[in-house]
Amino acid sequence: MTYSLDAFQNGQVVLVDKPIGWTSFQVVNKIRWLLCRQYGIKKIKVGHAGTLDPLATGLLLVCTGKMTKQIQDFVGADKAYTGTICLGATTPSYDLETTIEPQSNPSHLRKEDLIAATATFRGHIKQKPPLFSAIKQKGKRLYEHARAGEHVDVPDRDIIIHQFEITSIELPDVGFEIQCGKGTYIRSIAHDYGQVLGVGGYLKKLCRTAIGTHTLAQAISIETFEKNIQS
**Which of 53, 78, 158, 173 is flagged as catalytic?**
53
The confidence score (pLDDT) of residue 172 equals 98
Domain extent listing, the chain: 5-76+213-230, 79-211
Please say whether the beta carbons of 160 and 153 come within 8 A.
Answer: no
- Look up residue 29 and give its amino acid: N
Which band of pLDDT confidence, cut at 50, 70 and 90, is reported for residue 141? Answer: low
Q: Is 164 exposed, middle or buried (0-12, 13-18, 19+ CB in 10 A)?
A: buried
Asked whether residue 68 carries a pLDDT value surpassing 80, the answer given is yes
Active site residue 73: no
Asked whether residue 132 carries a pLDDT value surpassing 70, the answer given is no
Asked whether residue 111 carries a pLDDT value surpassing 70, the answer given is yes
CATH code for the structural domain at 79-211: 3.30.2350.10
Q: pTM, whole model, 2 decimals?
A: 0.91
CATH code for the structural domain at 5-76+213-230: 3.30.2350.10
Q: Do the two domains 5-76+213-230 and 79-211 of this chain adopt the same fold?
A: yes
Average pLDDT for 4-17 = 96
CA pair distance 143, 166, nearest whole angstrom: 30
